[in-house]
């Protein structure tokens, strides 16, 4: 039986993913990947939420979707609470218990929410699957926070990114983050491959 997973949408917010002035260079790629991943994850939730997964695959599949929303003071960036740029690109559906909204102020969502790990485990979650922005900050730190909380972790390559630096491109930073997380036993897999595996666990998708 595949382990139940929480799919983390980390800080995919308008100010950094859908705004010409502030967005990261790969914003269009992240929006595209995020939409495709969400479509498949929601199909799994809606189709299998009340059925036992009889798949023999070890590939974790989403049983929860956690939309994580960062806030920061104006001097630190555009994600100021209550502003248009602070809003999420992808939002939880009203009345769907398997879709959570979690706020944070720290890079690591588990630091901002000390009870999050216990809540996930109480819901049967064993694994965290991460996508989002920014690769070397909130994505990496939240992956490490999930490991420290006792979860298996998968990072979806191609579905996380960041800003270019003076000496490094965003793509180079993405690869460095993936290498560091692999060393900590995080599984790194392309998002298209993950989506195909989830669909393979649900023949009716």
pLDDT confidence of 200, banded at 50, 70, 90?
Answer: confident
pLDDT per residue as tens digits for the range 78-115? 999 999 999 999 999 999 999 999 999 999 999 999 99
Cis peptide bond prior to 134, omega within 30° of 0: yes
Q: What pLDDT does residue 205 have?
A: 30
DSSP state for residue 161 in the 8-state scheme = E
pLDDT confidence of 50, banded at 50, 70, 90?
Answer: very low
**Distance of alpha carbon 3 from alpha carbon 120, whole angstroms:** 13
For a pLDDT cut of 90, what percent of the chain falls above it?
85
Segments making up each domain of the chain, as ranges:
4-200
Q: 99: closest CA among 9, 199, 202?
A: 9
pTM of the predicted protein model: 0.93
pLDDT per residue as tens digits for the range 131-157? 999 999 999 999 999 999 999 999 999
Look at the domain 4-200 and name its fold: Rossmann fold (3.40.50)
Q: How far apart are the first and last CA of the chain?
A: 18
Mean pLDDT of 122-135: 97
List the beta strands (DSSP E) in 11-120.
61-70, 99-104
């Amino acid at each position: 039986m595949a382990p139940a997973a929480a799919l983390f949408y980390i800080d995919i917010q308008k100010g950094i993913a859908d705004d010409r002035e502030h967005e990261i260079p790969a914003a269009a790629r992240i929006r595209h990947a995020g939409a495709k991943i969400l479509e498949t994850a929601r199909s799994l939730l809606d189709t299998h939420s009340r059925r036992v997964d009889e798949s023999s695959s070890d590939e974790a599949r989403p049983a929860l979707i956690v939309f994580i929303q960062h806030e920061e003071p104006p001097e630190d960036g555009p994600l100021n609470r209550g502003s248009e740029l602070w809003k999420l690109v992808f939002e939880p559906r009203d009345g769907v218990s398997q879709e959570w909204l979690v706020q944070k102020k720290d890079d690591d969502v588990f630091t901002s929410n000390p009870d999050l790990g216990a809540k996930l485990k109480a819901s049967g979650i064993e694994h965290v699957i991460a996508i989002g922005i920014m690769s070397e900050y909130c994505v990496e730190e939240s992956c490490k926070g999930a490991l420290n909380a006792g979860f298996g972790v998968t990072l979806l390559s191609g579905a996380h990114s960041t800003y270019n630096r003076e000496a490094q491109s965003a793509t180079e930073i993405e690869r460095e983050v993936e290498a560091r997380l692999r060393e900590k036993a995080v599984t790194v897999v392309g998002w298209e491959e993950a989506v195909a595996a989830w669909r393979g666990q649900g023949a009716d998708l």
